[in-house]
Amino acid sequence: MTSVGTLCHSIFKTVAQTKDDTEAGRRIHELVLKAKGDEELETLLTPTFVRQELTDDPVKYVQQIHVPMLALIGTLDRIVPAEPYVAVMKPTLAKIPGSKLVVLDNLNHVMQTAKTGSPMEFGTLPETIAPIALQTIGDWINVTAKPIP
């Protein structure tokens, strides 16, 4: 069985190389069958969704923010890998006073303490959000928030 990460990569590559959504959907179906992957993944990674993700530019949205922002990324995030995210977001956030980027060890995309970081793990982990993520958010708010007069 192909890993979820490898299958997702193949799906994204296929959609990027296939202009017609009907054909892209057929190819996604073939990839999932060949990989003996979870059919739920096929319903999530539609050609429309994948095309949107391929063209999305989160930096563009962040550049429109004019208030302090906290960005968290987990070292086990397999959806938005930490290293390239930090490389792009750190200089962008540096231009927004009071903003901060924090990398949290062993957390996945949804801020759970994880073993592998695979999206297949999300529903199997005992916590909804890791205490360290909540503590980091609380600490940042306490430092950044201005008292109400």
pLDDT tens digit sequence for 90-100: 999 999 999 99
Residue 72 sits in the same domain as residue 37: no
Question: Domain residues for 91?
Answer: 58-144
Residues 82 and 135 in one domain: yes
The reply to whether 149 falls in a domain is no
The answer to whether residues 112 and 65 belong to one domain is yes
In a domain, 62, yes or no: yes
Q: Are 46 and 66 members of one domain?
A: no
Number of domains forming the structure of the chain: 2
Does the pLDDT at position 89 exceed 70? yes
Examine the domain organization and report whether 43 and 115 are in the same domain.
Answer: no
What value, to the nearest 5°, has the Cα angle with vertex 148 and ends 144 and 149?
130
Same domain, 86 and 70: yes
Judge whether 118 lies within some domain.
Answer: yes
Going from the C-alpha of 139 to that of each of 56, 99, 106, 132, 134, the distances in angstroms are 30, 13, 19, 10, 9
Same domain, 31 and 71: no
Per residue in 30-71, pLDDT (tens digit) is: 998 888 766 677 787 889 988 888 888 888 999 999 999 999
In a domain, 85, yes or no: yes
Q: Specify if 20 maps to a domain.
A: yes
Q: What is the DSSP letter of 126?
A: S
- Judgement on whether residues 43 and 83 belong to the same structural domain of the protein: no
Q: Please tell me the predicted confidence (pLDDT) of residue 55.
A: 86
